[in-house]
Structure 1
Amino acid sequence: MKMGAGVKRRTLWVGFAAVLVPLVVLLALQYRWLVQLDHATKKVQKATLIGFLDAVAEKVDYTYRDKARLLDLSSSIFNQNQLHKAAVHFKKKGVEGVTRLFVVSFVNGHDGRPLYFEPSCTSFSTETLGPEEQAVWVATAPWRTLVHKGGIVERVRLISEERDPSYRMLLYPVTDDASRLVGIAGMILDEEHFRTVVLPRAIEDSLSGYFEGNRQYEPIVSVRDGLGEVAFTTAADEKERWKENKVDKNFTFVFTDWSIGLASRHATPAQVARRNFLINIGLSAALAAALLGGLVLSLRTASREMKLSEMKNDFVSNVSHELRTPLASIRVFGEFLRLGRVDNPDKVREYGDYIETESRRLTQLVNNILDFASIESGRKTYRFERCDVRDVVCETLRTFEVRMRQNGFDIVVSGAETPLPPARIDANQHELAILNLAINARDAMPDGGSIDITVAEHRVKREPALAPGRYLKLSVADTGSG
């Protein structure tokens, strides 16, 4: 024990030295790094804000490019004069955030006049020249001019047309295999849908990706239209509504005259940097405490291992005693038989029963030791087989019944004579459990008593831990105290 205490003391000092010296060096270096980080945080914060604005703009672009996939029509629809297929396509797919869908055909006798989709009858129709139709006519005019000049489109891409801010539209030129323009598919965008659906969704998704869990910098996001009016904001009141933006950015694909900006609600980048500095210092202190706590836990673990070693030594001593008892009995009865001191056949059978019982007990002790070693090493496996529980109980009783009765214990088995259905169990583990329960009962009754072992069928209808069905119930009761 003294040697163990000396080892613990040396381990303590070595552990403290191994932890404290690197910890002091780490804290000094970290303080230096944090001071440098404090100066660079402003730039990092600004880059983060710009990244957020870029993310919102990209989400808006992706949303409308995804909607515009509806406009990707086959050239055969125009070449074969099958515009009704385009109407069916528009009706089937559908799209939100669009006020009108239209096509323009330049082949099969069509003069490039816009044809507007009518969802009610799944067809196209021409409209009288109103403001919306006039905007479409103006937007498609350059394409009609291109057709008159030969109509070759080398690169097909989605076009955002915003000449008239009241009627923003997306146009998709359709070409044949010779890159000749045969038609145009287009959509007029709904500004209200952009303001109330697309913007809030893009901003919310980007906020969760950039600022979630970073509540010390709660940004005010504002979107202004082409006239400079606030079209959308996350400001809580008028005071926040008119705070100066730290960064601004225009949208890049649609609504390009609209801009999105970020303003700080509470903390400035410098304040955020200072707060992060203090947080990091606190984390360093917490890390130091955690390391010291780990050292204490290590010492406690070493102490537990020492106690466990002592318990193992006690276990070995107890097992040695338990092993000597049946071995001595076997040797004595075997010597009686070898020397011929017993001539009575009944006595010979009785001694034989003693030898068999003690042998079984010895086998059980060895199995217990092996089970203990398997469980401790994590290699314990169970073998489940269908067997009669009554046979398992009777076989187990043969191991210790004779000795128990000699010591004044009365063993009563109930239910063994009743036919029971076979059960899928590990017989060895059940024998061990019955034996341990019987030994506990014996220890609780030093002056002798009665041990009642019951085997019965148990039907479960409704219990929290068991599913309804038929079960076998095995119980061990004694007349001892407690």
Structure 2
Amino acid sequence: MRREVSEGVEESLMSKLRSFFKRHVLLVGLAAVVVPLLSIIGLQYWSLRKLEKTSIVAGTVGMKNYLGGVSSEVKMFYKSNAEQALAVPAYSVEGDNLCDLKDHFPVCKVEGAKLVFLAGFDEQGEAQTLFFNPQDLSAHASEVPPAEVRAVQFATAPLRMARKENVAMPQPMVWMEDHDPDNFVLIKAVTDDQKVVGATGMILDPAYFREVVLPTKIKESLAKYFPDGTDSNVIVTAYDEHDNPILSSQKAHGQNDEIKINLPYFYNYKVGIRSRHMTPEQWAHWNFNYSLSLSLLMTAVLIGGIVLALRTASREMRLSQMKADFVSNVSHELRTPLASIRVFGEFMKLGRVGDRAKIREYGEHIETESRRLTQLINNILDFSKIESGRKTYEFERVRLEDVVAETLKTCEVRLKQSGFSIVFQSPTRPLPAAVVDREAVAQALLNLLDNAVKYSERAEKKEVLVRVGARDGCLQISVTDHGVGIAP
């Protein structure tokens, strides 16, 4: 028993669901499309948010990487020059070779230096130092300022001490001595069997650094780290030891997101980078808003298209239902006059009517039903023509009250048979002629009269009032009955 009840409940529930889906098939279809679409939009929103955060970090990291690249290029320039130029063999500083040898260095000139020096140490740590022109390393410098001499003496002091104390140095390296901020010295020990016998080095040229090295490395790194014209949104600025700008890649103020670093060797110089138009954060926000707006716009267009398609489908379904109802109603309406014509025709054919008055009455019935049948057929034809856009109207100048009177005469017999009386109120004074399609006006009036009869069958008073008059400069036909009426 319980199983039968359960099966009945399930069947009832399934029936209700089928009925619901059938009645709301368009809403169900819309929900089936919109719900996944909104899910995709939500997922895309989450992805865009994540991309926004990643873009901010990536933009900042890219700017820092650029600064690191400039620093590495500057360091590599001086380090490679120093390692190449300062590779002096030990015999160059032994005994009289320091003064006798003409070519101590493996290269002819050194870029970025204002002086190059070579020093030989004796066992007491005393030094004999020679200065060379960096543009021609075979020529001695004629005059050396005292400040530069002191800078070299200070830089070589640890090596002279190592020579005096006979300290071993397995692998000499190039290092920086920045005691004098105006004379930075790159120095390298000259060793013989891991013992210091001398030193060689160069005093860096700040002017060459500002005018040649720094602009070149900034420009080369821009093309490397910001390819395809993306460097247009960054401004690179170099600053001197007093934090005054000495170089800028673009003449623009830019944003307040500048990142600065100190440069190698010339540590009191800085290079900074900042955004010109938008910071990485602003660009990420703009990109997020643009992408989200575009997605929402495309979604709105897609939903609009779906809604339009569903509305069109709904309209077609309603139109199909209306056609079905129309065919059903017309079929019923056609059977009624045909049945009447057939009955009256059979009576007359079988000779059951001998009275002339009765024959005339039957003839009027047949004529009335024939007119009604013609009206129905015209309705069908007009409906088909209107739907296909082939309906044409033939306008002519007529008196409207005459058209109404002729139409009422056509359906008078049928209305009387249905128990209805027609009251026609003609205008008190003649109306002006109107240019109308006679058949279209008659057809519209007949349709109104049919509705008056159809929806007034249960009315207490079966009377139809037809008026023709003028109102607000227009001619007007009105049909009044006592039925349920038509919504305005």
Instruction: Give the TM bin, normalised by the shorter chain.
Output: 0.3 to 0.5
Give me the TM-score of the superposition, normalised by structure 2.
0.47
Structure with greater Cα Rg: 2
Give me the TM-score of the superposition, normalised by structure 1.
0.48
